[in-house]
């Protein structure tokens, strides 16, 4: 059974059809990649799934439950988390504080209890700090736990965002270009992290440009171009699909 089902969704900005009647399904426990040239509508698609943009036409189902146009903050309760192409990190906060934000829905946020520093608030804090540290260790950035995010490099912050999204044990993780702007070593590290996440049973919908990484780690690929679906299949099928090669990969990639 598919975990996420996109059923003919469309989105227009003024006269521009950014996403036009796209359908695909993401199987549970897989890494599903969404690729396409710049401006193909990939991010728009993810923004619709995560409720940041409204859907004009069509429906989105998660576990057979309709989640079309559900506000972003409510999707978190269904354990759908996402990261962003252009970092959405709180720069004036430490890495630890950013990760703790990820635990938001599990924490007690009663203002009265917070202002009088109730024991339960402090206990929560300690418990989640502990879990956050173990998450940070997993991706190898625990030494930056108490550094201000504005003092850290782009590569580390990309990892911080992934860890924040992992905080509440998501069922579906939407990664919007997690390796954009990173160097080879960092890309390989992130690919490793994504594989590890998937191995633990988290379904990943991955949007990326880096073909080497996509071909290496994804189970299924959906290709979009100019807002329409071009092809779908395993990495092998996609890399030999003539339409895809013409639109995106270029002749050279075939022989790489």
Distance separating alpha carbons of residues 236 and 96, to the nearest angstrom: 40
Closest CA to 89 of 129, 148, 176: 148
Q: C-alpha dihedral over 145, 51, 45, 197, to 10 degrees?
A: 40
User: Quick one: 33 or 165, whose CB is closer to other proteins?
Assistant: 165
User: Quick one: 145 or 188, whose CB is closer to other proteins?
Assistant: 145
Nearest approach, Cβ of residue 39 and other proteins (Å): 21
CA-based radius of gyration for the chain:
19
User: Quick one: 46 or 231, whose CB is closer to other proteins?
Assistant: 46
User: Quick one: 23 or 147, whose CB is closer to other proteins?
Assistant: 147
Nearest approach, Cβ of residue 129 and other proteins (Å): 8
User: Quick one: 117 or 153, whose CB is closer to other proteins?
Assistant: 117
User: Quick one: 105 or 243, whose CB is closer to other proteins?
Assistant: 105
Nearest approach, Cβ of residue 50 and other proteins (Å): 7
What is the chain's percent helix, strand, coil content, to nearest 5?
45, 25, 30
CA distances from 207 to 85, 113, 174 (A): 9, 41, 8
Nearest approach, Cβ of residue 21 and other proteins (Å): 27
Q: How many CB atoms lie within 10 A of CB 193?
A: 20
Nearest approach, Cβ of residue 1 and other proteins (Å): 25
Half-sphere exposure of 181 (CA within 13 A, CB side): 14
User: Quick one: 4 or 231, whose CB is closer to other proteins?
Assistant: 4
CA distances from 27 to 62, 101, 194, 240 (A): 11, 29, 16, 22
Element (H, E) at 174: strand 172-176
DSSP lists the bridge partners of residue 4 as 26, 62
Residues engaged in binding other proteins (CB under 8 A): 50, 52, 71-77, 81-82, 84, 88-94, 96-97, 100-102, 104-105, 107-111, 114-117, 121-122, 124-126, 146, 164-165, 168
Nearest approach, Cβ of residue 215 and other proteins (Å): 28
């Amino acid at each position: 059974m598919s975990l996420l089902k996109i059923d003919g969704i469309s989105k227009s900005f003024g006269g521009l059809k950014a996403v036009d009647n796209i359908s695909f399904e993401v199987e549970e426990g897989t890494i599903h990649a969404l690729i396409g040239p710049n401006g193909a509508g990939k991010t728009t698609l993810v923004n619709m799934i995560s409720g940041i943009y409204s859907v004009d036409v069509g429906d989105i189902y998660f576990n057979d439950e309709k989640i079309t146009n559900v506000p972003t903050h409510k999707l978190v309760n269904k354990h759908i988390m996402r990261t962003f192409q252009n970092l959405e990190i709180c720069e004036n906060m430490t890495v630890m504080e950013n990760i703790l934000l990820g635990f938001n829905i599990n924490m007690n946020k009663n203002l009265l209890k917070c202002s009088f520093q109730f024991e339960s608030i402090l206990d929560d804090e300690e418990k989640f700090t502990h879990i956050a540290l173990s998450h940070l260790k997993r991706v190898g950035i625990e030494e930056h736990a108490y550094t201000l995010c504005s003092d850290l490099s782009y590569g580390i912050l990309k990892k911080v965002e992934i860890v924040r999204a992992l905080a509440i044990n998501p069922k579906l993780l939407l990664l919007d270009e997690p390796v954009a702007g990173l160097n080879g070593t960092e890309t390989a590290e992130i690919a490793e992290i994504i594989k590890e996440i998937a191995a633990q049973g988290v379904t990943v919908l991955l949007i990326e440009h880096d073909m080497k990484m996509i071909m290496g780690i994804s189970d299924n690929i959906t290709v979009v171009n100019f807002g329409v679906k071009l092809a779908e299949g395993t990495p092998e099928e996609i890399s030999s699909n003539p339409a895809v090669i013409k639109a995106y990969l270029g002749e050279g990639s075939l022989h790489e």
